[in-house]
Amino acid sequence: SPSPAMALPYCYRTMVSGLRGRSFLTIQNYTPHEISFLIDLSRKLKQRKDQERHYGVQGNLLAGLNIVLIFDKVSTRTRCSFEIAVNDEGGGVTFLSGSHMGQKESVEDTAIVLGKMYDGIEFRGFAHEDVERIADHAKVPVWNGLTNLHHPTQALADFMTAAEYIDKPFHEMKIVFVGDAANNVAYSLMITAAKLGAKFVALCPPTRRPEMDIVRMVREAYGGTVECYDIAARKQALAGADVVYTDVWVSMGEEHLFDERIKELQPYQVDVSMMMDTQNENCKFLHCLPAFHDLHTSVGRHVHEKYGLQAMECSDEVFRSERSVVFEQAANRVHTIKAVMVATVGHLARRAPDSLDQLAITG
């Protein structure tokens, strides 16, 4: 049965059979019940890993399966999470970077070849159309590790973390995304919030609001509550927030936009006063990382020398505060990614024939 944080019940057997063989390209393709199941499965797999360590046993939910990871865009958390998740459950993993795909060999041909060699394919890159084309031709499950439009595995980790730290169901939560709300992280977070019934608020400049087509889709297709405010209405936007979330102001490949983004977004830095405006002492701070919260990176030092900023999207004080759960959020990427793979290609039905409770390890 689902954990108390899950507002949506589900039938375990229906979830197991319904997710088998599916790709995970965007949260849009999954029902609220399926999302709830994946988050609950993630939490169970996290508990299971602790038990495996205690008893010194190897997981087997991906045993005998081979997974390939295609990275056209660099990564720390996503790559490590996929590799650890596969290794934890006894599978084999190949990291593929700098392939011929799209250059000497078409996306279609590459997808067909890899689909015949591997049981599942992860893709992290730029155009969302690329991961869709891979899924169309590979004939095995394909998982989106990030594209310019969506970051669905991140959103699962975000809501898993919220479930761990906020003592209320998702449909009672208020999520405030601060800064550049027209990016892939914000979109996936907004869609997931709508599916699970959480209220989503974007506190951002008018130029960085979510695209209206996506907002309209979230409101009309999923009945989601989406509100947008600029900095003049920050107190209204932040009041009662359970989560304050931010992301970098300039994404990979957008370094030429630093001048423009700093001018637009500097008033939107998440600092202590902004957290106090939530009027909620239990409000948590989330960030998908990496974060420019100090001068301990070359980019941070460059920005400091050119613009005089000690930090960008969040202050160091907030980042290191007790409200911040960013490192647990990052660690949860392993468990949510593992859940997606186990549910779509793994041995879940054979290993746990009746319920998630049977995933527990016994000595």
Catalytic residue set: 124, 151, 154, 247, 288, 333
* Rg, C-alpha atoms of the chain: 20
Separation between Cα atoms, residue 271 and residue 294, nearest integer Å: 13
DSSP state of 271: -
Strand partners, 285: 244, 324
First vs last Cα of the chain: how many Å apart? 23
Is 284:323 a contact under the CB 8 Å cutoff?
yes
Where do we find the tokens 């008033």? 267
Q: Phi and psi of 178, rounded to 5°?
A: -115, 130
Is 330:352 a contact under the CB 8 Å cutoff?
no
Query: Token pair of 244, please?
Result: 């304050």
Task: Give which of 103, 99, 107 is closest to 133, Cα–Cα.
Answer: 107
Task: Give which of 170, 229, 210 is closest to 194, Cα–Cα.
Answer: 170
Where do we find the tokens 């359970």? 242
- Any idea what the Cα angle at residue 40 is, between residues 340 and 48, rounded to 5°? 80
Separation between Cα atoms, residue 9 and residue 37, nearest integer Å: 8
Q: Phi and psi of 252, rounded to 5°?
A: -60, 130
Separation between Cα atoms, residue 161 and residue 262, nearest integer Å: 29
Query: Token pair of 157, please?
Result: 């980790």
| Residue 222 burial class via C-beta count within 10 angstroms: exposed 0-12, middle 13-18, buried 19 and up | buried
